[in-house]
Structure 1
Amino acid sequence: MTSRRVAVISEFGDPSVLRIVQEDIPDPAGDEVQIRQLAIGFNFIDIYQRKGDYPLPLPTGLGFEAVGIVEKMGGSFDGFNLGDRVAYMNAGVGAYADRRNVAADRLVRVPDAIDNETAATVFFKGMTAQYLLRRTHAVQPGELILVHSAAGGVGQVLSRWATALGARVVGATGSPRKRQAALDAGCVAVVDTSQEDWPDAFLKATDGEKARVVYDAVGKDTLVRSLDCAAPFGLVVLYGASSGKAPAIDPELLNKKGCLFLTRPSVFPHNVDLARFRSNAADLFDAVTRGHVSVEVGQRFSLDDIAEAHRAAEERRASGAIVILP
């Protein structure tokens, strides 16, 4: 039996509830492989779960995505061998570890052209962008879209990929200091949602044109006013809640705002089916190798410093993606 280091929480709370423990990891079961992890991705949902906003049974690990090397196999699996470099993002929580057993049908091989940090930081965020841009709405050339949190990890991927698809992207950020990161991600203009009149600033930047799609990951502070930025018969996509739970929307308001469509999707249902999961991943990896998708790594933290990584993210001190190195 091999030993591993893993981050766990036994109660919900601030980052101090995270602690690193050393424990034995059993050999992989018949449907699993054991991975020595090389880079671990960080996502805002990790914070929601640590705080108990999205409660998990305790005690629990955290983290959804990582890249690593297959060290042990519980069986024979088509497409996988010892020594392969693999990634996952939908194997359940517990990625904050230096080793992990993962069901083989939750893994994809990482192309040689994509390095560990890129794969670990782009996979969850990129798979989120993939379903938003390809399935929630198939973005078309020339469409105007508004992307909230455009300087964040998912926001940068969304903005770059949508731009590569020919869309015109206006970004929204929560502070003016993040403006340049959004512009660097391909946004043609950026509005500051910390300003009360930010929907007016959006319309000024677009000469009065409203967005075919609004991608809102902020929730509480922005959703109602996001409706004001959507064109008639447009789509508002609420896929996160970084400012808190979004308010309930009266369906009649959607009618009054222009017969709008409102949806609340998430990444995991779009990737339950194995064939679709691997097809979506192939689409993402193709976009990465073509240069259509990239992630700016804002900060790197060791696994031992995972609590500080959470503080940096929660206090909005990190622009771009955070990567955890075991």
Structure 2
Amino acid sequence: MKAVKLNGFGGVEVLEYGETPNPVAGSRQVVVEVAAAGVNFMDIGARQGTMGGGYKPAILGVEGAGRIVEVGPDVTEFREGDRVAWVFNLSSYAERIVAPVDSLVKIPDDIGDATAAAIMMQGLTASHFATDFYPVQPGDVALVHAGAGGLGLLLTQIVKLRGGRIISRVSNEGKVAISKAAGADEVIVDREGKFAEEALRLTNGEGVHVVYDGSGPSTFQGSLDSLRRSGTFCWYGPVLGGPGPFDVMSLPKSIKIGYAVFLNLIPTPELMRQHTNQLFDWIRRGDIKVNIGGTYPLADAAVAHEAMQSRATTGKLLLIP
């Protein structure tokens, strides 16, 4: 089969599209023929060797959707022919993957493969951010960084479902309309991390109730400055780097700050399936829409990475074997 392998760490030149042995299902595993694989910033971090935590895959990718073509021993939850989606299952940039059953959810008949592949990591993350990490209440104001990206668009819609108001930050004017179409009430265009003054102006000087910031160290101070008294700072996304050491006693206005790590969002298969089914329900009711900003042949994974890194894309990017 064909797959996108890493030939070292670095730029997109280390991505190698070529033949690799077909996977074989072991105990409590299945083999899935991949219909679509999601592209994430953590894939870029893995390619660059900056992810840490021992994450050094031979084949990139952690999420996708497809159809089971082989069932290993001791599998009772799934059978050959089932359509499934997965998250945080390594080696997803391939025509086939082997997946432990605990990483899988069944795709309903009325949800397409591309939609399922696009919703897993970012949809589960957005749901956790707005319903658990900071349970948004009617009237709350949220500042969403990268508001026209895959996560930002889903987060915007879920916050609006809960009655919140969205201030979205995007990197250029071309993304304003996309962010507003997802429900953003106001949009700040900023590439330099100079957004706090405008966020305060839009909230009559009070600041926002919650900031969702995965944009790296350049926005950290601005996000702090944008919060109101007892506001919540949701910091996530290790690829762009952390803020560096800071004095906790210097934090202003009794704010609360936390680092949202993906694997903490869904610690059990049951919880993952519960939250995924909620996402599927929202999609079928039209409460949220999945924006697929680009699809690329699997062989063009390097092109997809370059597009994502350029910040020129919106929505979710997918690879199609």
CA distance in 2, matches of 1:78, 1:313: 38
1:264-275 equivalences under 5 Å are 264-275=259-270
Find the aligned partners of 1:187 and 1:125 in 2 and give their Cα distance.
Answer: 18
Matched, 1:114 2:114: no
The residue aligned with 1:189 is: 186
Q: Does structure 1 conserve the Cα–Cα contact (< 8 Å) formed by 2:194 and 2:222?
A: no
- Mark the CA change 1:27 to 1:194 in structure 2 (over 3 Å): closer, same or farther: closer
Change (3 A) 1:38 1:231: same
Q: How many pairs were matched up?
A: 320
Identify which of 286, 291, 315 aligns with 1:296.
291
For residues 40 and 23 of structure 2, the distance between their equivalents in structure 1, rounded to whole angstroms, comes to 27
Larger deviation, residues 154-163 vs 264-273: 264-273
Greater CA drift, 201-210 or 185-194: 201-210
Secondary structure in 1 matching 2:129: helix
- Identity over the aligned pairs, expressed in percent? 30
State the AA in 2 paired with 1:309.
Answer: A
Q: Is contact 2:171–2:311 with CA below 8 Å preserved after alignment?
A: no
> Partner of 1:42 in structure 2?
39
Query: Secondary structure, in 3 states, of the residue corresponding to 1:214?
Result: strand
Q: 8 Å contact 1:70–1:82 — kept in the other structure?
A: yes
1:98-130 Cα distance to aligned partner (Å, 9 max, x none): 101100111000111211111111111101111
- Secondary structure at 2:229's aligned position in 1? strand
Alignment pair present for 1:315 and 2:313 = no
| Runs of 4+ off more than 6 Å | none
Instruction: Give the TM-score normalised by structure 2.
Output: 0.95
Amino acid at match of 2:51: Y
Pick which of 279-288 and 129-138 moved more. Answer: 279-288
Partner of 1:135 in structure 2?
A: 132
What's the offset of the Cα at 1:186? 0.7
- Please give the per-residue CA displacement for 1:246-304, whole angstroms capped at 9, x wherever unaligned: 233311121xx201111001121222312212212222222222222222111110000
In the aligned structure 2, how far is the partner of 1:253 from the partner of 1:301? 46
Kindly state the Cα deviation for residue 57 of structure 1 after the two structures are TM-superposed: 6.0
**Offset, 1:25:** 1.9
Q: CA RMSD in A?
A: 1.6
> Shift of residue 242 of structure 1?
5.8
CA contact under 8 A between 2:23 and 2:97: conserved in structure 1?
Answer: no
Give the letter aligned to residue 23 of structure 1.
Answer: T
Given the alignment, which residue of 73, 82, 85 partners 1:84? 82
Which residue does the alignment assign to 2:165?
168
**Could you tell me how far 1:195 is from its partner in structure 2?**
5.2
How many angstroms does 1:171 deviate by?
A: 0.5
1: distance between equivalents of 2:246 and 2:109? 46
Match of 2:213 among 212, 216, 233: 216
Paired letter, 2:312: R
